[in-house]
Amino acid sequence: MERFKKIAAYAIGIFVFCVLVTGIVDESKSLYQLLQDKGGHEEEVTVVGKTVSSDLFGKLKYYAVLEEEALSQLTRKMSTQETSLISKKEFEQLNAGDTIRKNDSYMTDEDKKSQIIEHLIVIVVFSIYPFGFIAYNLEHIPLLKKLEDKAASLFLFSLLGIICLFSERSISYAYAAGNIPAPEK
């Protein structure tokens, strides 16, 4: 019975490991696509009207309405072909009949940077258990148990240090490329 409990606990550990690694891979793919997003192409369109929308927390978003039908039925589920997100300054200067350059990307630079940070946080949090699981299992390898000296521990922590160094290096590259905003002082 004791052996069955150990096997069941180890099977659950492997299952959690696989789920978290799958989550890390999925988040990494999303982050890669987000970093590779060039924004789409721009085109000049004529503005029919303008409107302001407030989100749940009171943040105002300013839109230029691009289609006549959309002006009479403004809803939160409008497509990006019907409206275009603009800055407050552009909103104040804009009049019906003006032309604007519309980017077919649905994200502003601020949204993109916040999503990059969110993806990195999720990847780091999801990485804690897999690194611990690998370290725990490396410590229980019979060869490493026999060596029980500092060389085995040094090897293990050097391996984990190299992995962390490469992770930090990729984050610093993203920071240098401007994909991660600088911390406010």
Task: Say how far apart CA 93 and CA 49 lie, in whole Å.
Answer: 12
* 90 in any annotated domain: yes
Please state, rounded to an integer, the average pLDDT across all residues of the chain: 75
Q: Are residues 83 and 118 in the same domain?
A: no
Residue 172: Cβ within 10 Å count? 11
66 close to 82: Cβ distance less than 8 angstroms: yes
Q: Are residues 65 and 152 in the same domain?
A: no
Q: Identify the domain containing residue 100 by its residue range.
A: 42-106
179 close to 171: Cβ distance less than 8 angstroms: no
54 close to 62: Cβ distance less than 8 angstroms: no
* 185 in any annotated domain: no
Q: Are residues 75 and 162 in the same domain?
A: no
The whole-number pLDDT of residue 50 equals 80
81 close to 87: Cβ distance less than 8 angstroms: no
Total domains in the fold of the chain:
2
Q: Are residues 118 and 172 in the same domain?
A: yes
Q: Are residues 119 and 171 in the same domain?
A: yes
Using DSSP, state whether 87 is helix, strand or coil.
coil
* 182 in any annotated domain: no
Condensed to tens digits (0 to 9), the pLDDT of residues 29-60 reads 888 888 877 655 667 777 778 878 777 787 88
Q: What percent of the chain has pLDDT over 70?
A: 66
- pTM of the predicted protein model: 0.51
